[in-house]
Chains A and B, each alone.
Chain A
Amino acid sequence: MKGPKLWIGAGVVGLYVLAAILAPWIAPHDPLAQDVVAALQGPSAAHLLGTDELGRDQLSRILMAARIDLPVAALATLLPCLLGTALGVICGYFGGWFDAIVMRISDLLQAFPMYILMIVLVFSLGPGVRSLLISFTAVGWVVYARLVRAEVLRIRQTEYVTAAITAGFGAPRVIVRHVLPNTLRQTLIYLTSDLVFAVTALAAFSFLGFGIQQPTPEWGSMIAAAQPYITTQALLTVVPGLVITVLALGFALLGDALQERKRA
């Protein structure tokens, strides 16, 4: 079962990445071009997925949204990963008061419901990509820090690390050459599953109006904008919803496959 999961997951994610790269060339219409006379039309040869409330081509907007959602989701995962990994390594390797302070802060952050904390942050910073990334990073580093710290504590006891320290190598060299590379696998596996959260959370924030704003095409805000038409033009909400679901599924399969490989 390892094979199919990996290939399906990678295939799905690869397809989305490809769509994001090629969107400006394959999108049949300008995703921002309004044509109110053609608003809320069903699928047709001219508009394969129909048009939205301002007559914009839904397929073009979905394709162009990939250029926003994918990079923002990747950054929303990568930034907390980098911060958490750096803090985890320092805490795990050096311990002491710095470790105690960082871990208590992480306890504090984990005591709050994650979504609520993120909403409060985005609300106080104002909607937009910058606020989203700050909020994801401020809350998301905790798991990475704990994960890496635990790995570093284990690795630090290994003979090869003891040997490196005994040989007189400095802490930066030991960390970069011997400790960090051995934590990466675990981090990468978590990062893949964290992407699932990032994709869905990003859409949720935009749906709630805290994320990327109209008229920029973004899957979550497209669902929100189409919500009043759910009883008459269901496709306007169903298709972006499916697009998010399939991408999240792709990342989930990829994460599962990597996890299973590690166990094997």
Chain B
Amino acid sequence: MKRPAITAALTLALLASVTACGGAGAGEASGDSTTPKAGGTLNVVRSNPFEGFELDKETLNSSYQISQAVIEPLIRTTEDGTGLEPGLAESWEYSKGDTVLTVKLDADAKFSDGKPVTADDVAFSVKTWQAGANYGATYASIASTKVVDDKTIEMTLAAPDTALAAFLSWATAGVVPEDFGGRTAAEYWQKPIGAGAFTVSEWSANGQVVLTKNPDYYRDGGPYLDKVVSTYASDPNSITLQMRSGQLDMADEIMPVTAATLPKDQVKAQPQHLTPVLLMNTKDPALADVATRQAIAYAIDYAAISQSALKGYGVAPTGALPTNSLNWAAPSQPYFTLDAAKSTELLKGQAKTLSLVYPNDPSSTLMAQIIQQNLAAVGITVTLQSADSATAFAAESSGEYQLGIFSYNAISPDVADPAWYVAGTSTMFTGLPADDAITALTDYAATTDTAKKKAAVTKLQDIWFEQAPFVALAHTSALEGQRDVVHDAHVTPWGTYYLDTVWKN
């Protein structure tokens, strides 16, 4: 009785494989993971709310991710996020001592209403970016624009700024139609029209954002997906269960604790710009002495932070700036490592009591407890003050703290991006004067020579190492939950990806 059963099973298996081969040959759904397949809906969860399409008001990756798919920026970044590549701008070129940037637009670039993207649209967009209260300063180096022809625009810079091209790849540099297409700004931001791969069907901050394929998209191939449905869920368990059950295709920006509960093959990790740091308020009398700050930095167990708080998705820091950024260079001396003896020596027997404010997410909570124990070992008593992320940020950004856990990020490939953030925020809210850092950054922007740029970065790293206003706690990984039906979602080091390349089978 066994033989017929085995034979039948083998026959069925053979038939199944033959059918599968035949299907593939006919060009139908195949499971082939190399040939993009058009169609389908991508169900993705975001861990943060969507702040709306008004570019200057966006502060979260969850917002950049969605808005850049609709209002595409002028320049794109490479798949690995370490370089720039043509997008709406077919080419760009510096001239006149890096004081003029000439941008040529892609001949096929169109908005989703079918109208071509012109140099006038870009000129209007530049004015819109510059008018923004949050990001306006980033584009302040553009002194004027000149429309050369329909597809060419010249940007005259107030001073040489070779980092500007990178800032034109930010999601905040989305190209909008001139005069918002005849609508008021408020009407436009509510339902924008852009030259991105998708159009807006519906959106809400804490609910669904539904994007639909833009049939007029200018790039060859994509978009492949018919629709993208983004939902918001902050609970790690909910994300894990939805991923496991197949309700979700992707989970954006998952926390290390969430990644630790997903099957390994559903977690895509790559070194990212997001850098957790311990801020030390240099204006506080207890931390005014640089030796105390260095002592704290030498007391921290960076390996424990990577292993426990980041669940292995991080490595010990090698400098204050994120490593995988364009033109990154190491400090001229080895960065802080755990050295309790050196820490004790720097403290000179002084016992201190300090408070540490931190956002109450799982990773920061673990980091705070590890730091508390590390500092206790060298005679510093730390009182923990947890707060929701907004309250913790308010305390830190207003200088109302002693120690603080914070994470800073870049949203473009160039190392100047995170460095300017540090320098432009009073050395990341620590109160250390940033004059030397700004001089180094100005030197950086004034040259196209890579060696000179790297020398300027080393100078920055050295300033922030020697003065220790803050200490990087780890170089972390951007984590994305992704089922194997999803392909070509290339997550950048700042945690976003272009939706036009993504496809499902």
In the assembled complex, B372 has its CB within 8 A of some CB on chain A: yes
The interface bits of chain B over 240-269 (1 if a CB of A lies within 8 angstroms of the residue's CB, else 0) are 110000000000000101101100000000
In the assembled complex, B307 has its CB within 8 A of some CB on chain A: yes
Is B304 in contact with A36, judged by CB distance below 8 angstroms?
yes
In the assembled complex, B19 has its CB within 8 A of some CB on chain A: no
* CB neighbors of A among B351-382 (8 A): 360, 362, 365-366, 368-370, 372-373
Scoring B365, B372, B386 by chain A CB atoms within 10 A of each residue's CB, the highest score goes to B365
For the complex, give the distance between the alpha carbons of A116 and B178 in Å: 49
The interface bits of chain B over 275-287 (1 if a CB of A lies within 8 angstroms of the residue's CB, else 0) are 0000000000000
The interface bits of chain A over 175-205 (1 if a CB of B lies within 8 angstroms of the residue's CB, else 0) are 0000000000000000000000000000000
Cβ-neighbour of B386 out of A36, A55, A213, A230 (below 8 A): A213
28 pairs of residues in contact across A and B, judged by CB atoms under 8 Å: A32-B373, A34-B304, A34-B370, A34-B373, A36-B304, A36-B307, A36-B308, A36-B370, A37-B307, A53-B257, A53-B308, A53-B362, A53-B366, A54-B366, A54-B369, A55-B308, A209-B388, A213-B384, A213-B386, A214-B365, A214-B368, A214-B384, A215-B372, A215-B384, A227-B237, A228-B258, A229-B260, A231-B237
Is B386 in contact with A209, judged by CB distance below 8 angstroms?
yes
Closest B residue by C-beta to A32: B373
- Interface residue count for B (Cβ, 8 Å)? 25
Is B237 in contact with A39, judged by CB distance below 8 angstroms?
no
In the assembled complex, A232 has its CB within 8 A of some CB on chain B: yes
In the assembled complex, A28 has its CB within 8 A of some CB on chain B: no
**B-to-A contact residues, CB < 8 Å:** 236-237, 240-241, 255, 257-258, 260-261, 304, 307-308, 360, 362, 365-366, 368-370, 372-373, 384-386, 388
Is A228 in contact with B366, judged by CB distance below 8 angstroms?
no
Given contacts A214-B384, A227-B237, A229-B257, contact A39 B373 (CB under 8 A): no
In the assembled complex, A225 has its CB within 8 A of some CB on chain B: yes
Q: Which residues of the partner chain B approach A241 to less than 8 Å between Cβ atoms?
A: none
Closest B residue by C-beta to A40: B260
In the assembled complex, A24 has its CB within 8 A of some CB on chain B: no
* CB neighbors of B among A103-140 (8 A): 127
Is B386 in contact with A127, judged by CB distance below 8 angstroms?
yes
Q: Which residues of the partner chain B approach A214 to less than 8 Å between Cβ atoms?
A: 365, 368-369, 384, 386
**A-to-B contact residues, CB < 8 Å:** 32, 34, 36-37, 39, 53-55, 127, 209, 213-215, 225, 227-232
Is B261 in contact with A225, judged by CB distance below 8 angstroms?
no
Is B307 in contact with A209, judged by CB distance below 8 angstroms?
no
Q: Which residues of the partner chain A approach B308 to less than 8 Å between Cβ atoms?
A: 34, 36, 39, 53-55
Is A228 in contact with B369, judged by CB distance below 8 angstroms?
no
Is A209 in contact with B369, judged by CB distance below 8 angstroms?
no
Q: Which residues of the partner chain B approach A39 to less than 8 Å between Cβ atoms?
A: 307-308
Is B373 in contact with A231, judged by CB distance below 8 angstroms?
no
Closest A residue by C-beta to B241: A231
Q: Which 7 A-B pairs have the closest CB atoms?
A: A228-B257, A36-B308, A36-B304, A228-B236, A215-B369, A232-B261, A36-B307
Closest A residue by C-beta to B236: A228
Q: Which residues of the partner chain B approach A232 to less than 8 Å between Cβ atoms?
A: 260-261
Is A209 in contact with B360, judged by CB distance below 8 angstroms?
yes
For the complex, give the distance between the alpha carbons of A53 and B240 in Å: 18
